[in-house]
Amino acid sequence: MEPNPVVKGSLTTIILKLLEDNGRMYGYEMTKAVRESTANKMSITEAALYPALHKLVEDGLLTTTSEKVDGRIRKYYALTKQGKKETQSKIQALKEALESVQLILNPKLSNG
Amino acid sequence: MEPNPVVKGSLTTIILKLLEDNGRMYGYEMTKAVRESTANKMSITEAALYPALHKLVEDGLLTTTSEKVDGRIRKYYALTKQGKKETQSKIQALKEALESVQLILNPKLSNG
DNA sequence: AACTATACCTAATTTTATTAGGTAAATACC
DNA sequence: GGTATTTACCTAATAAAATTAGGTATAGTT
């Protein structure tokens, strides 16, 4: 069974969270990390990931450093100061949004 | 504080779930139902809702019946047979997707 | 030689939601 | 009586975000 794509709109927050937890990561590493920590149930596609990463750099939330490892280039991303701040609020917002969806999916039965 | 919009991509599933729970509803009622069951933390905008409803009708998942109540027209929506089937799989898919996001947001700490 | 994994990327399209409105009747407020 | 709010439907234009469908290149495996 193929892993599902990420919940729409959550990709940016997921990237920020991964970087908060791991200090610095490169794109391909992020795709593997998500598949692994979700037991292959969810994956982030590279076609969505790279544009999202570029936008985060553009917005000043991430910085990059490139390194050549085993003949291949790795582009490491890390949170800027502003990125760390934004990470907090985005995680908070996503958690609240997910909770709200949970309330719809598992409504309190009010007529008992 | 203003309620946040729905988690992107989840609107269709939320509509189907509301109809599964309530039998039939009209659009405006759905917007109130979501605000109420999330304690005003989430709301679905009408500009997103109505096109989504029309698409669900177009796709054969919903039927409509219009009624005049207190001088105003209400357009009630209900699940078709196919709609009921799709509701199950969409709810299941959304639940799994949310679980995966939760795993990212609350990762198992593997280096203890 | 072919295939898989690593590692980056983009262009065109589609999907989905937002912004920014519009119409109209009923009700509540002053 | 006049204004504001709530109810109740809707759309058009734009923006945001992801998908589809690729491309490049190196390293390792069969």
Higher pLDDT, A25 or A8: A25
Distance, Å, B37 CA → D25 C1': 53
> Residue A109's closest chain B neighbor by CA?
B21
Instruction: Please give the protein residue whose CA is closest to the C1' of the nucleotide D21.
Output: A47
Q: What is the mean pLDDT of residues A34-61?
A: 96
Among partner residues B21, B98, B105, which is closest to A101 by beta-carbon distance?
B98
Instruction: Please give the protein residue whose CA is closest to the C1' of the nucleotide D16.
Output: A9
Give the model's confidence band at A3: pLDDT under 50 very low, under 70 low, under 90 confident, else very high.
confident
Q: What is the DSSP letter of A53?
A: H
Six-digit token string for A47: 């076609």
Mean pLDDT of chain B: 93
Asked if residue B87 belongs to a domain, the reply is yes
Confidence (pLDDT) at B4: 75
Asked if residue B31 belongs to a domain, the reply is yes
B50-70 core/surface letters (b: 16 or more CB in 10 A; e: else):
eebbeebeeeebbeeeeeeee
What is the span of the domain harbouring residue A92?
4-105
Q: What is the mean pLDDT of residues B99-108?
A: 92
Digit-coded pLDDT (tens) for B30-45:
999 999 999 999 999 9
Digit-coded pLDDT (tens) for A48-107:
999 999 999 999 999 999 999 998 999 999 999 999 999 999 999 999 999 999 999 998
- Bases on strand D under 7 Å from any protein CB: 7-12, 17-23, 25-28
- The count of structural domains within chain A is 1
Confidence (pLDDT) at A6: 77
Confidence (pLDDT) at A7: 81
Kindly report which listed range (A3-17, B34-48, B74-88, B98-112) carries the lowest average pLDDT score. Answer: B98-112
3 state DSSP class of B112: coil
Q: Is the CB of A104 under 7 A from strand C?
A: no
Asked if residue B112 belongs to a domain, the reply is no
Asked if residue B111 belongs to a domain, the reply is no
Q: The domain spanning residue A61 has which CATH number?
A: 1.10.10.10
Asked if residue B91 belongs to a domain, the reply is yes
Asked if residue B61 belongs to a domain, the reply is yes
Residue whose entry in the numeric block shows the structure tokens 């929506």 = B77
Chain A residues touching B37 at Cβ < 8 A: 103-104, 107-108
Confidence (pLDDT) at A4: 77
Confidence (pLDDT) at A26: 98
Alpha carbon distance, N-terminus to C-terminus of chain B: 40
Asked if residue A110 belongs to a domain, the reply is no
Residue B112 above 60 pLDDT? no
Digit-coded pLDDT (tens) for B57-97:
999 999 999 999 998 999 999 999 999 999 999 999 999 99
Asked if residue B84 belongs to a domain, the reply is yes
Instruction: Report yes or no: B62 and B26 within 8 Å, Cβ to Cβ.
Output: no
- Give how far B58 is from chain A: nearest CA, Å: 23
